[in-house]
């Protein structure tokens, strides 16, 4: 549940946050920043400074949205004149305004005007609080910059490693795709051949069947006729014997006493009890036809099985080739793999492009089947699994897997922000952004300063 708890970059991140926090409590005023204050349009971003310079010259300022023209003195006078907030870059007067912290030795940041003069040191250089009489923000940019540098080094290292692996992933992916495509072509050719052969053998089989069937049937029918005649003969004979026996037994029967010699009830005097005579073998010419038909059947069946297997192989390969493995096939290595992550209670398993599961002891609960990439912006930043097992009195389970750059393919966290909607984090070299850029710490050189 504790996201990033195992990653070293997270440690630096939270250190940086802690440094920022500490700044709130330190009571050292930044004299440097305060002394330059008078010359500067506080809170104005470098890009907009020319506007204010021009206004200083002309004595009037037109709101950036063009809605109004106001005297230069109304800029940063702690009263909102422009609906777009452009007259108050350095105060909290405009709800839509924004404040630029130069944060020398760190990274410039832009804050909503709600952060200005509210008693919380949001900029590491403390400039957001300089409008307060009792501003007590320490300048922590040096430390923050140092943390960021360290963090950047880590990030860069991790990114570089990730990119190296990613490159391998791509190579494997592209090779695999080439191989798969070739293989598919080959298989399809094989399949075509096999299908043709299938048809041919099937025709032979059918022909053999057609010859075999009537011959075989004629022989069987003849034998059946013989059998029937014999049966009728047996029955007639039996009837005669029965009649004779009845006539002989009649006086005894009149005495009303059953005799001890009377046959037991279960002795069935059945004619059919006689063992059936086997059918005489097929004549040679018929047997030859049968053998031929059997041969044709075996031959065709073997080929047909082969063709079916090939077709299955073609479909599977086709499906794999149709799976979106990224523009550079960088996600190829995730195919056919599963990744798991253990929490105190459960083990989670994600098989990309297939399914996600939650396991406890021997029981696995489906969190959903692959429905595709779902990142907003970069769609490859998120995987979606839907229609998992239904929650009791709730929705069907679903899982969202967020990807981020890392040097290994691994699940690193699981959360359940809403009941039965799982959010997992997954690091992958494949998710590393080739256009990755680090936030650069502002160096000490003042290239663009102040009014």
Q: Least distance to another protein from the beta carbon of 418, Å? A: 5
The least CB distance from residue 343 to another protein, in Å, is 9
d(CA 222, CA 131): 117
Complex with another protein: residue 121 or 403, whichever CB lies closer: 121
CB of 450 to another protein, least distance (A): 26
Pairing of strands 69-71, 60-62: antiparallel
| CB-CB contact of 396 with 388 (8 Å) | yes
CB 3, min distance to another protein, A: 6
Nearer to another protein, 100 or 331 (CB): 100
Task: Judge contact between 350 and 424, C-beta under 8 A.
Answer: yes
Whether residue 88 contacts residue 52, with contact meaning beta carbons closer than 8 Å, is answered with no
Output the smallest distance, CB 88 to another protein, in A.
Answer: 11
If the CB atoms of residues 22 and 232 are measured against another protein, the closer one turns out to be: 22
Nearest to another protein of 331, 426 (CB atom): 426
Give me 198's structure tokens.
């299938």
Alpha helices per DSSP H over 362-446: none
- Sequence-ordered alpha helix ranges (H) in 37-115: 49-58
Phi, psi of 145 (to 5 degrees): -60, -45
The site for another protein (CB under 8 A) is made up of 1-3, 21, 24, 77-79, 92-93, 95, 112-115, 117-120, 132-133, 344, 391-394, 415-419, 421
Task: Count the alpha carbons within 13 Å of 338 in the hemisphere toward its beta carbon.
Answer: 13
Minimum CB separation of residue 56 from another protein in Å reads 20
The closest of 154, 131, 183 to 16, measured between CA atoms, is 154
Residue placing its CB nearer to another protein in the complex, 105 or 115: 115
Cα gap 356→352, rounded to integer Å: 8
- Comparing CB distances to another protein, the nearer of 14 and 160 is 14
What number of helices (H) and strands (E) belong to the chain? 5, 12
Helix or strand (DSSP H, E) at 347: strand 347-351
User: Quick one: 66 or 394, whose CB is closer to another protein?
Assistant: 394
Minimum distance of another protein from residue 48's CB (angstroms): 20
């Amino acid at each position: 549940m504790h996201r990033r708890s195992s990653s070293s970059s997270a440690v630096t991140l939270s250190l940086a946050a802690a440094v920022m926090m500490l700044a709130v409590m330190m009571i050292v005023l930044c004299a440097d920043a305060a002394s330059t204050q008078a010359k500067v349009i506080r809170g104005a971003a470098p890009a907009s400074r020319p506007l204010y310079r021009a206004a200083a010259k002309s004595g009037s300022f037109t709101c950036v949205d063009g809605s109004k023209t106001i005297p230069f003195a109304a800029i940063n006078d702690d009263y909102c004149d422009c609906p777009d907030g452009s007259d108050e870059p350095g105060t909290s007067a405009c709800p839509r305004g924004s404040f630029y912290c130069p944060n020398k030795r760190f990274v410039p940041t832009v804050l909503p005007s709600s952060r200005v003069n509210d008693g919380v040191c949001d900029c590491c250089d403390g400039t957001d609080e300089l409008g307060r009489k009792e501003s007590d923000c320490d300048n922590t940019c040096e430390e923050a910059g140092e943390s960021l540098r360290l963090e950047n080094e880590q990030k860069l290292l991790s990114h570089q490693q990730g990119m190296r692996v990613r490159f391998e992933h791509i190579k494997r992916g592209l090779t695999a795709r080439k191989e798969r495509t070739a293989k598919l072509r080959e298989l399809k050719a094989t399949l075509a051949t096999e299908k043709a052969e299938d048809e041919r053998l099937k025709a032979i089989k059918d022909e053999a069947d057609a010859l075999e069937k009537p011959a075989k049937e004629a022989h069987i029918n003849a034998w059946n006729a013989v059998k029937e005649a014999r049966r009728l003969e047996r029955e007639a004979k039996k009837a005669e014997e029965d009649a004779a026996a009845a006539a002989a037994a009649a006086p005894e029967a009149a005495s009303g006493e059953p005799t001890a010699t009377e046959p037991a009830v279960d002795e069935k005097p059945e004619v059919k009890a006689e063992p059936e005579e086997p059918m005489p073998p097929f004549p040679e010419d018929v047997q030859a036809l049968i053998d031929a038909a059997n041969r044709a059947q075996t031959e065709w069946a073997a080929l047909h099985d082969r063709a079916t297997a090939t077709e299955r192989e073609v479909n599977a390969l086709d499906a794999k080739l149709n799976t979106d493995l990224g523009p550079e096939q960088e996600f190829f290595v995730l195919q056919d793999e599963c990744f798991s992550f253990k929490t105190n209670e459960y083990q989670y398993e994600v098989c990309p492009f297939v399914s996600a599961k939650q396991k406890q002891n021997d029981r696995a609960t489906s969190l959903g089947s692959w429905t595709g990439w779902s990142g907003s912006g970069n769609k490859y930043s998120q995987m979606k699994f839907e229609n998992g097992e239904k929650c009791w009195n709730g929705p069907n389970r679903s899982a969202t897997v967020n990807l981020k750059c890392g040097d290994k393919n691994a699940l690193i966290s699981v959360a359940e922000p809403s009941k039965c909607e799982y959010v997992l984090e997954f690091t992958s070299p494949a998710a590393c952004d080739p256009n990755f850029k680090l936030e650069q710490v502002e160096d000490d050189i003042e290239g663009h300063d102040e009014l």
